[in-house]
Amino acid sequence: MRAAFIDATTALLDDDPRTALVLADISASQFAPANTRHPERVLNVGIREQLMIGVAGGLALTGLRPIAHSYATFLVDRTYEQIKLDLDHQGVGAVLVSIGASYDGSREGRTHQSPGDVALFDTLVGGWTVRVPGHPDEVAPLLRAAATTDDPVYLRLGEQRNAQAYPDADRLRVLRRGGAGAPLVVAVGPMLDPTLAAVEGLDVTVAYTHTPRPFDAAGLRALAGTDVVLVEPYLAGTSSAVVGRALADVPHRLLTLGVGRADLRRYGDPADHARWHGLDAEGLRRSLDAFLGSVRR
């Protein structure tokens, strides 16, 4: 996904004089050719992530469309106040593109883990669009769409990927349909493939989206039965309030699966963390069986 982002951003810089890129050292070497061609619109502020967001806000005020990029933990967690003030409070937008996801950098320790990034955007008032692609081929269309607007957009990239791309899944896209009234399982971004493996043999409907914000409330209402399961690649329960509002007048049960709230204080690799948080296929199946009981096809 990172390579797809670099290629798509380089093309935007070449084709659209409104596009600007602000870096804080991360990926600077990969963007060196673009920097040579467009030194006035490719800016590397060094390891100063808060300044990166401030510069992006200033560029947006001049009419440019800034893209700011780093690891999620540095781009969002570390710069939250600047996002709140220099973008949200100023009423300007930018495209924030992260890598690292919740625990891609787990070998580096907690400093490189960011399971709470999407939850932070929910505290802002600017109406952020959040995109979480599940395949590299979804990245470029989402980035190009974001570059054509002035809206605030967060594009969350990671190493985990699904086998197939669904670029049009900004709304809930049904990929597996159960019987009438079957439980609905919503998989966000790269959680699709482990979810499909986990529901093998169960009478459930599976829907996919790469756009958890704005959440497809109308699609959810059309598909939801009594039981709804939400599988997200970040902090468990991040979208529970959104789902609750969408189904406020519909009797339902909700199970939210994602990264647990406990700090594991462990290194390991991403597969280890997926297993420890119950986000591999086996862990998801255990949670589904406990919640749904003996639902079978």
| Residue 20 Cα distances to 38, 80, 100, 245, angstroms | 9, 21, 22, 37
Bridge partners (DSSP) of residue 230 are: 186, 256
- Which residue type occupies 237? G
Beta strands in the chain (DSSP E): 19-23, 42-44, 65-71, 95-99, 129-131, 153-156, 173-176, 184-188, 205-209, 227-235, 253-259
In which band, very low, low, confident or very high, does the pLDDT at 161 lie, cut at 50, 70 and 90?
very high
Q: What is the mean predicted confidence (pLDDT) over 30-49?
A: 98
How far apart, in whole angstroms, are the C-alpha atoms of residue 236 and residue 234? 6
Q: Which residue has the tokens 């600007």?
A: 20
Residue intervals of the chain classified under CATH 3.40.50.920 are 173-296
CATH 3.40.50.970 region(s) of the chain?
2-156
**Average pLDDT rounded to a whole number, residues 64-76:** 98
pLDDT at 59 over 70: yes
pLDDT recorded at residue 294? 60
What is the rounded CA–CA span in Å between residue 50 and residue 57?
11
Q: What is the pLDDT of residue 296?
A: 59
Q: What is the pLDDT of residue 295?
A: 60
CA separation, residue 195 to residues 46, 61, 199, 284 (Å): 39, 42, 6, 7
CATH 3.40.50.970, domain 2-156, yes or no: yes
Residue 278 and residue 286 in contact, taking contact as beta carbons nearer than 8 Å: yes
- What are the tokens at 276? 């420890």
CB 19 within 8 A of CB 13: yes
Q: Return mean pLDDT, the chain.
A: 97
Give CA–CA dist 198/289, Å, rounded: 10
pLDDT mean over 202-211: 98
Residue 90: which H helix or E strand, with range? Answer: none
Two structure tokens written together for 198: 């986990």
Query: What type of residue sits at position 103?
Result: Y
Angstrom CA distances, 230 to 59, 95, 233, 247, stand at: 37, 26, 10, 13
CA–CA gap between residue 196 and residue 282 (Å, rounded): 11
How far is it, in rounded angstroms, from Cα 199 to Cα 182?
12
Class of domain 173-296: alpha beta
pLDDT of res. 126: 85
Question: Percentage of residues in the chain with pLDDT exceeding 70?
Answer: 99
- The pLDDT confidence band at residue 3, using thresholds 50, 70 and 90, is very high
